[in-house]
Amino acid sequence: MTRIRANCPGCGEVDLTPPEVTLRIVRAPDGLVGEGSTYRFLCPDCDELVTKPADERIAQLLSNGDVPIEEFGDIDQLLELLLPPHPEAPADAPRLTADDLLDLHELLAGDDWFERLLAS
């Protein structure tokens, strides 16, 4: 089986097998390996998850070595997977309008906004 030599920040060079590495490719608009592409592995010596940026050359080398690939159409798809949903943007809440903002501004300009907040 192919062996992959990678670098752990704590342990230096480590040898891995292809299934131990995951290549995450974010496609650039031109179809090449884009910004945000990474490869990662669990270091066999210290158990740290190591994530490193992957450029076109690294992605080519790893995919030729039969490393499993997760592919994303663009960076937003990847972020959707990595980030929790935004807590301040519930899908079914009404949008903040310019009028709401003006009301808030006028409320905060008064002296009693904190008391009113506590009372609400």
Measured from the CB of residue 78, what is the shortest distance to Zn ion in angstroms?
A: 25
User: Which has the closest alpha carbon to 61: 13, 8, 18?
Assistant: 18
The maximal CA–CA distance of the chain, rounded, in angstroms, is 72
Which residues of this chain interact with Zn ion, rule CB under 5 A?
8, 10-11, 43, 45-46
Measured from the CB of residue 48, what is the shortest distance to Zn ion in angstroms?
A: 5
Other CB atoms closer than 10 Å to residue 25's CB: what's the count?
A: 22
Pick between residue 11 and residue 102 the one whose CB is nearest to Zn ion.
Answer: 11
Measured from the CB of residue 42, what is the shortest distance to Zn ion in angstroms?
A: 9
Other CB atoms closer than 10 Å to residue 34's CB: what's the count?
A: 19
Pick between residue 46 and residue 107 the one whose CB is nearest to Zn ion.
Answer: 46
Pick between residue 9 and residue 19 the one whose CB is nearest to Zn ion.
Answer: 9
74-109: b or e for each residue (b if 16 or more CB lie within 10 Å)?
eeeebeeeeeeeeeeeeeeeeeeeeeeeeeeeeeee
Measured from the CB of residue 12, what is the shortest distance to Zn ion in angstroms?
A: 8
The single residue listed with the structure tokens 């960076």 is 75
Pick between residue 8 and residue 23 the one whose CB is nearest to Zn ion.
Answer: 8
